[in-house]
């Protein structure tokens, strides 16, 4: 916004000066003087940055701040749906977060809805800040009929994994629903397995959900196949990778090499060679998919002999990765394993402030874990120490109709009470890719019940 000369609390909207709403709050600070803060709001949302000298202010408008957009509140509507039309109708009121919602019923019908309150922006795309003077306004939200959905697709299954899945005929220029998507590798692997045909058992579904295969590895392994190295450790690594199936299992030596290479060394080496020096800091290690595209079809950005330079980059960066793995796991490749590097654990945010007696109860792990960011078993990790940073804390496989046969796992436990024996008791099962029964019927629930807590209102 343009703000008024001498009064940063006024902003221009439709050729008028409008007063920001101001709220003053006092924040108590332990062992410090209380802090008085001033919060300002425009018609679009909270002011997140102000430059009074430059007569500018920036506010953020978000769907999350709209009435009724409380996270997952919309799930109350579809929990009682008994048919596809009822399910889809209930999602018309879904607010946040934007999600792929999937459906299955006992008749065999399956469906998918892209659910989320999506602003209709008629003259811009929302990717960059725009003047808040009224020229750029939301015109309500896209209706459910304007958002993509599918029911009973010909392939017989629906797969989503945060990848770009807008239908080919969807009018993206007119209905701007999103621009950033995850690497398609996880969905491609799911498509590959389900597309092979045949019936999928509960066991097969659980195996797919915890499948550690990085399908993109096939591209780089193909490039490495003809290469040779005079360095003994690099040559040993090449041999291990030639026999690797691309599965990031916890006990895999090849996975420890490959993922250290692609996660920390390959991208920076390619960027250092292909990108202008001034842009390297911005690009960082690059996007792995883009790096693979360049390596698959090397061009003049790699110099006058692109293919030879590409091969040299592959071997040099692989040698650096092998050196790091050796430094971390020792000189004997027979002892290397991805799980010795890639580990998961949970530490409560209050653990550093707890005394020694309570601190142990506020954490669990670390323990070796399979998977990576590009496998169906999503387990993204931090390059500095390989610690798992994100993934599926909850998994479930539903036997539609025979609900008591369904399976689930949660981590670290089902209780939020750190003194409960069930606060951390599921971690070991989760980190190994295991499951437990997800009972549904009253009879099955009562049979599994360990303790009943009765809450009785006071008179």
Predicted confidence (pLDDT) at residue 68 exceeds the cutoff of 90: no
Reported as a single tens digit per residue, the pLDDT across 230-248 is: 999 999 999 999 999 999 9
Token pair of 103 as six digits: 């459906």
Token pair of 297 as six digits: 């079809």
With beta carbons less than 8 A apart as the criterion, state whether 442 and 451 touch: no
Reported as a single tens digit per residue, the pLDDT across 90-132 is: 998 899 999 999 999 999 999 999 999 999 999 999 999 999 9
Reported as a single tens digit per residue, the pLDDT across 339-389 is: 999 999 999 888 888 888 788 788 999 999 999 999 999 999 999 999 999
Residue 358's H or E segment, with its range, is: helix 356-359
The CATH code belonging to domain 3-60 is 2.30.120.10
Reported as a single tens digit per residue, the pLDDT across 177-201 is: 888 899 999 999 999 999 998 888 9
Reported as a single tens digit per residue, the pLDDT across 249-303 is: 999 999 999 999 999 999 999 999 999 999 998 899 999 999 999 999 999 999 9
pLDDT > 70: what percent of the chain?
100
| Whole-number pLDDT of residue 309 | 96
412: preceding bond cis by omega (within 30 degrees): yes
- CATH fold, domain 184-376, is 1.10.1400
Domain boundaries, the chain: 3-60, 75-181, 184-376, 393-459
CA dist 380 and 372 (Å) reads: 5
| Whole-number pLDDT of residue 360 | 79
Domains 75-181 and 184-376 fall in the same CATH topology: no
CA dist 454 and 443 (Å) reads: 19
CATH of 75-181, one of 3.40.50.150, 3.40.50.300, 3.60.20.10, 3.40.30.10: 3.60.20.10
Instruction: Please report the DSSP string for 112-153 in residue order.
Output: EEEES--B--SS--SSS----SSSS---SB--GGGS-EEES-
Predicted confidence (pLDDT) at residue 44 exceeds the cutoff of 90: yes
């Amino acid at each position: 916004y343009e703000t008024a000369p001498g009064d940063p609390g006024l902003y221009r909207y439709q050729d008028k000066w409008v007063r920001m709403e101001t709220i003053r709050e006092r924040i108590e600070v332990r062992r410090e003087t209380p802090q008085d803060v001033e919060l300002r709001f425009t018609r679009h949302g909270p002011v997140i940055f102000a430059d009074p000298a430059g007569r500018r202010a920036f506010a953020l408008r978000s769907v999350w701040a709209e009435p009724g957009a409380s996270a997952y509140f919309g799930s109350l509507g579809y929990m009682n749906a008994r048919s596809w039309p009822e399910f889809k109708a209930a999602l018309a009121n879904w607010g946040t977060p934007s999600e792929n919602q999937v459906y299955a019923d006992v008749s065999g019908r399956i469906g998918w809805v892209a659910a989320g309150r999506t602003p209709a922006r008629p003259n811009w795309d929302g990717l960059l800040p725009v003047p808040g003077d009224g020229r750029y306004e939301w015109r309500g939200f896209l209706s459910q009929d304007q958002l993509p959905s599918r029911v009973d697709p010909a392939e017989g299954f629906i797969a989503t994994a945060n990848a770009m899945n807008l239908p080919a005929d969807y009018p993206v220029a007119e209905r701007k629903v999103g621009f950033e998507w995850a690497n398609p590798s996880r969905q491609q692997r799911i498509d590959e397995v389900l597309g092979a045909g045949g019936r999928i058992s509960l066991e097969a579904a659980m195996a797919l959900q915890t499948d550690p295969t990085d399908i993109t590895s096939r591209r780089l392994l193909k490039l490495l196949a003809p290469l040779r190295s005079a360095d003994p450790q690099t040559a040993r690594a090449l041999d291990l990778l030639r026999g690797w199936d691309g599965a990031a299992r916890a006990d895999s030596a090849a996975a420890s090499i490959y993922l250290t290479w692609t996660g920390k060394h390959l991208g920076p080496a390619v960027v250092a060679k292909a990108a202008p020096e001034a842009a390297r800091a911005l690009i960082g290690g690059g996007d792995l998919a883009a790096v693979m595209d360049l390596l698959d079809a090397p061009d003049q950005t790699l110099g006058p002999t692109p293919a030879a330079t590409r091969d040299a980059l592959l071997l040099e960066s692989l040698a650096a990765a092998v050196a790091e793995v050796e430094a971390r796991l020792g000189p004997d490749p027979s002892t290397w394993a991805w799980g010795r590097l890639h580990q998961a654990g949970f530490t409560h945010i209050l653990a550093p402030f707890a005394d020694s007696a309570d601190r142990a109860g506020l954490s669990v792990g670390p323990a070796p874990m399979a998977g990576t960011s590009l496998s169906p078993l999503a387990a993204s990790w931090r390059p500095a120490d390989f610690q798992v940073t994100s993934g599926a804390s909850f998994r479930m496989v539903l036997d539609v109709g025979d609900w008591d046969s369904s399976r689930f796992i949660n981590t670290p436990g089902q209780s939020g009470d750190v003194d409960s024996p069930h606060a951390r008791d599921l971690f070991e099962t989760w980190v190994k890719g295991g499951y437990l029964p997800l009972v549904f019927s009253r009879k099955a629930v009562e049979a599994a019940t360990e303790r009943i807590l009765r809450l009785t209102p006071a008179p």
